Amino acid sequence: MRMTSIAFPSREVAGLMERAFYSLVLVMASGPLDHLIIEKALSSGVRAAIWGGIYGGFLLITLRRPSLVGQSLRGAWPLLLLPALAGVSVLWSWLPMQTVTGTLETAAMVVFGGIVGNRVTERQLLGMVILALGAVATVNLWVVETSPIGLDINGDAIGIFSHKNENGAMMTVLLTACLASLVWGGPRFGALLASGLALLLLALSGSRTAWLAALAGTAVVFLLLLRRLTTPAKLAVLLLGCGAGTVLVMVLMATHADVVGSALALLGKDSTLTGRTVLWDLARRYFAHAPYLGHGFNAFWTEDLTSSAAFVNRVMKEDLASFHNGYIEMAIELGIVGAVLQVVLMVWFVQPLHRLLRYGDAAAAAFAAALLVVVVVASSAEVTLFVRHGFHLFLWAALWSRASLLAEAATAPAPQLWADRRRFGPDLPVQPAEEGLPSAWTHNL
């Protein structure tokens, strides 16, 4: 059945200046100033001032359109469940003020992302991600090549980021966004250039976690091509995959291969994952002190030399600011309740993903699927999702909000659709009037 689009006036969605502002938010959320602040080359007040301007910008946007806050919360409200628990944790937090600040900055990204999801289309959001991270990657490569602070003590590229894993994480998102655009019909020239930068910086970062996440995200982008196959072809691919997997398992069993050891050796890791298993064993002990509700959101790591965090750093002979595992970190901060809630929200993201795959732009939907897998994989070695001014959380909220809007529009009767056209954006697929307007429209990839 033939599909077309409703051409709403451009003033109904975000204009160029507003999209540029949202791109600035993406740049800042990626953390490009953190390394300069750690190196004492830049005052933390500069970063605070820029974020103050961002908060002010969103305040002006919501003052002009008061309904935006309610619309964004209606779309992305599940992501506020964990910040709500974080806010309650101030009652038992080791560091109440740090908990309050962390909660507000985390919840703000959900609200901000929800607003963006209501103001731009999913294709525009994908383009903004490529543009923002492409600009970051360009500056990043320049710092790596020209500045002594561009490499860490091991010779791995960190560029403008605070750690090689942060560099790798952002380049992974850029790479998957570019591949989604190239494979599924988005802007191609800019995506091709940006993907080259992302691949180069990802390789230079030496971040094995980022490599695995990038591999998983890339696989998802291409696996979604199976949606185009007929049912018999899908069945054939499934049988071939199962057969190949069975043969591989039989070979490994017959040769008594040390799969884990070989994988670690390939990634340049030892059996302790370069000390992380020792760190996680320490985390297990602190978890046992408050297993149900934790020690408070953002309340463990502090510069206080008498704190538990200082003890961990003395044992590890490092200057750590996390347990290098998003799931363990959440269990320490908010106990088993918070850890389970985080996993539930990750699984819950499948709902907006399904809506994007059904109603949304194909390239943006593929990127959303890759982003889900990237976050799940990366969280096994870094704190990725629920962090202060978090990049991934901002994108999740925007995609969640946009998916909710698309689903609402797709099930709306025609008169309501036209009455509420300010909220739906210009790219909503519908059937031509001469073919009738059913209660729902599906846009198969």
Residue 4, in any domain of the structure: no
Residue 56, in any domain of the structure: yes
Residue 5, in any domain of the structure: no
Residue 267, in any domain of the structure: yes
Q: What is the pLDDT at residue 115? A: 93
Q: What total number of domains does the chain contain?
A: 1
Q: Which domain holds residue 118?
A: 14-435
Residue 347, in any domain of the structure: yes
Q: What is the pLDDT at residue 93? A: 92
Query: Do 368 and 353 form a contact (C-beta atoms < 8 A)?
Result: yes
Residue 427, in any domain of the structure: yes
User: How do the pLDDT tens digits run along the chain, 445 residues long?
Assistant: 333 333 333 335 678 899 999 999 999 999 888 777 777 677 888 889 999 999 999 999 999 888 888 887 888 999 999 999 999 999 999 899 999 999 999 999 999 999 999 999 999 999 999 999 999 999 999 998 888 888 888 888 888 888 888 899 999 999 999 999 999 887 778 899 999 999 999 999 888 889 999 999 999 999 888 776 666 665 665 666 666 656 655 555 565 544 444 444 544 554 445 557 888 888 888 899 999 999 999 998 887 777 888 888 888 877 888 888 899 999 999 999 999 999 999 999 999 999 999 988 999 999 999 999 999 999 988 889 999 999 999 999 999 999 998 888 877 665 455 444 444 554 554 433 333 333 333 333 3
Amino acid letter, 364 = A
Residue 238, in any domain of the structure: yes
